[in-house]
Amino acid sequence: MRQALPVLPVLSGLPLNIFEEENDLSHTRPATALSHNGVMTALAAAVAKAEEINVPQNVVIVDQSGVTLAIFRMDGAKFTSMKTARAKAITAASLNTATGQMAPEFAVAAAIATDGEVINLKGGLPIRFGGLLAGAIGIGSGTGDQDVVVATAALEAIGADTV
């Protein structure tokens, strides 16, 4: 049996000890995360789709906080598109939605406010499982539609929710 540690109640309604409500999850939220295998599978699927459509791509995968999990530049991909691929992934994770759908006035303000970290170009998709955000993928170097095709292939390969 655990020994309860006394805690001084500062606000009314707080439990008098930290173990009083040990099954109370009201202070948590459901979460999920990509495993390294999931990241590698998504990356491989994106590269395979880019090869299939003959469009070299930059691929960036981030977690739900925008931390980079994978970054890859295929031979022939535009090196300047690496920055946009990263921004697409960060935007999709931050807004939990596909990129390229913002109102123009919001897109400009968001880009300025975030020093270009938020971008309104197609090719960024959130990675969700059962509605829970696990991260996002950003693709860059093709047209916006080609980037979306490659990102979608990555999501399908890992069984993520359809966007």
Is 29 inside any structural domain? no
Is 144 inside any structural domain? yes
- Percentage of the residues of the chain whose pLDDT score is greater than 90: 82
Q: pLDDT band for 26, please (50, 70, 90 cuts).
A: confident
Does residue 19 register a pLDDT over 60?
A: no
Rounded to an integer, the average pLDDT of 127-138 is 98
Domain membership of residue 66 as a residue range:
36-157
Is 23 inside any structural domain? no
pLDDT in tens, 43-66: 999 999 999 999 999 999 999 999
Is 81 inside any structural domain? yes
Is 5 inside any structural domain? no
Is 12 inside any structural domain? no
Does residue 139 register a pLDDT over 90?
A: yes
Is 16 inside any structural domain? no
Is 1 inside any structural domain? no
Q: Return the CATH number at 60.
A: 3.30.450.150
With residue 146 as reference, give the H or E element that holds it.
Answer: helix 144-157
Q: What does pLDDT average to over the chain?
A: 91
Which residues, other chains included, contact 1 with Cβ-Cβ below 8 Å and sequence gap of 6+? none
Domain count, the chain: 1
Least confident interval from 21-25, 51-55, 77-81, 112-116: 21-25
Q: pLDDT band for 25, please (50, 70, 90 cuts).
A: confident
pLDDT in tens, 92-121: 999 999 999 999 999 999 999 999 899 999
Q: What pLDDT does 2 receive?
A: 55
